[in-house]
Amino acid sequence: MSDEPPTGTVSAWAPPPYADPHLFTEHDVTVGTGPLAVPGTVSVPKDRGPGPGVVLLSGGGHFDRDETSGPNKPLKDLAWGLAGLGIAVLRFDKATFAHSGFAASPDLTMSREYVPYAVDAVGLLGRRPEVDAGRVFVLGHSMGGKVAPLVATAEPSVAGLVVMAGDAQPMHHAAVRVASHLSSVLPDQVPASLVETFAGQAALVDGPGLTSATPASELPFGLPASYWLELRDYDPVATAAALGKPMLILQGGRDYQVTVADDLARWRTGLAGRPGVDFRVFEADDHLFFPGAGPSTPADYALPHHVDPAVVTGVADWLHRTRPTAVGR
């Protein structure tokens, strides 16, 4: 289902304890060209020679550069934490957030939504003097993780990928699974009729009746037929396997949206035995990599949290030690 949080009162974000803004500087950048360019931010470590850089991609939905979710900003947590540990970071508003007309485009696809902007961001970051142009990585969360292999296919200079809770189960099938789960734990909020609606929409996506003329109102999340025609033919794991690049695949054990059983299992199977591919499960973390206890629910996203510090240090360590040498195909 969509990564966007429930609406409600939003508290002010506060920096996580592990982020020291004295260790880096931030600068505004423009990602993309023309009327659909978007604003972004680059966080640059102070007093460092050319080192690794990483472009952050947020999940599905109309997200800003921080992936703001209620009072939380998980990509800002990551950017500030990584920059303090010597990693240059570029994050940017999605075009669907910055341009309402783009979001309403009848021919919108995941590729159009992400790939040109991510490719431009990789080039921008690689041209900075503080960054080793041969060590620019892409880190994607949720749908950003799903699309990351496609970005690396389009831009061969990408040194490697970090996939955080990247969904590998087809999204229209996952929507039925997630709705069923929420209906069982929150029956007053998610009626069984919603599950039936998603199931019917998923069947339409899978069937021969889906064409470019199918109304968006009949499809999951109101996304246009063009979006689903591309998605149903896209296999992120097979695309990643064809790259031969280093990859770090991260998963939260408490995540009900992208799960160990339904998604990580696909990544493990498709990338089994490949050198340079690491898998890590953070058992206490939810979909946004916020640590906690007990079953995760959408209400958790409305409470102030920060990305697990072990995730931040784990990603930073991997980026520092990983070199862009091809791994076995």
Active site residues: 142, 255, 287
- The tokens describing 178, both together, are 């997630």
Question: At residue 326, what is the residue type?
Answer: A
Give me the sheet containing 247-252, strands edge to edge.
24-31, 38-45, 88-92, 51-57, 131-141, 161-164, 247-252, 277-282
* SS3 per residue for the chain: CCCCCCCCCCCCCCCCCCCCHHHEEEEEEEECCHHHCEEEEEEEECCCCCEEEEEEECCCCCCCCCCCECCECHHHHHHHHHHHCCCEEEEECCHHHHCHHHHCCCCCCHHHHHHHHHHHHHHHHHCCCCEEEEEEEEEEECHHHHHHHHHHHHCCCCCCEEEECCCCCCHHHHHHHHHHHHHHHCCCCCCHHHHHHHHHHHHHHHCCCCCCCCCHHHCHHHCCHHHHHHHCCCCHHHHHHCCCCCEEEEEECCCCCCCHHHHHHHHHHHCCCCCCEEEEEECCECCCCCECCCCCCHHHHHCCCCCCHHHHHHHHHHHHHCCCCCCCC
Name the residue among 209, 174, 217, 218 with its Cα closest to residue 195: 174
